[in-house]
Structure 1
């Protein structure tokens, strides 16, 4: 599954150099992840479960700048699942030409609030993630 979320660059996204500030891209990819989860999970009850999804690593490569008024698209999909961790690829492109602005790999873990530690993914979620990865290959 590939989720596509559009964001229009606003004035408050800009820095002194009049292009999108690097910290804003973290917010953009986070918005992309939440939109992905809205589509991936059928209901919001996954937020009520014992487990949560803390981000443990983000690797981000800035390829080109975005400016006021640009229409960006955050493309989000799973790329790898381990026993307790999962990695997403997120790419921000500038529309309509699909010029790559940012590429990021985001890793997070399945974390038990009760146990206060990372736990293996529940089987139903693991299967759904594996199907999502396979659908893009």
Structure 2
């Protein structure tokens, strides 16, 4: 049986510096939106801020990412970033995401990130321990 993990949603608004020369959000900014949402969600929902995680000597780094662009976001659009852990393995986790334009409730982008847990002292990957699995298994 595959374990189910909780999903969380964070709402943001497109800012002027997010816009590219084609008058919509630059493709790289969507990745920033997901990372900002995860940063906020770690503290609000998992009870483990990134700062606390780092104090423990750990960090999360991106190993790979897949993003599918469906519809652009524009200046001033409110949008929701829904994220959740899809799976946890011995070295990290896969986090999936959906970004929805709240103006029309349509999908803007979706995809996933593969994160590796590292030891901040040496920058090398470390095994995800049971404490971390329990923490993120909500």
- Establish whether TM, by shorter chain, passes 0.5: yes
In 2: Cα distance, 1:107 partner to 1:43 partner: 19
Q: Could you list the runs of 4 or more consecutive aligned residues of structure 1 that deviate by over 3 angstroms after TM superposition?
A: none
The superposition leaves residues 45-103 of structure 1 with CA deviations (integer Å, 9 ceiling, x where unpaired) of: 22201221111111111011111121111111110111112000111001144211010
The structure where helix makes up a greater share of residues is 1
Write the distance in 2 (CA, Å) between the matches of 1:9 and 1:52.
28
Structure 1 distance, partners of 2:48, 2:84, is 19
Asked if the contact 2:77–2:103 (Cα under 8 Å) also holds between the matched residues in 1, the reply is no
Instruction: Name the structure 2 match of 1:65.
Output: 72
Hey, what's the Cα distance between the residues in 2 that align with 1:25 and 1:42? 25
Give RMSD over aligned pairs.
Answer: 1.6
What secondary structure is seen at the aligned counterpart in 2 of 1:118?
coil
Residue correspondence of structure 1 range 1-137 to structure 2 within 5 A = 1-44=6-49, 45-129=52-136, 131-132=137-138
35-44 vs 8-17, which deviates more? 35-44
Q: Structure 2: which 5+ residue stretches go unaligned?
A: 1-5
- Residue equivalent to 2:3: none
Unaligned runs of at least 5 residues, structure 1: 133-137
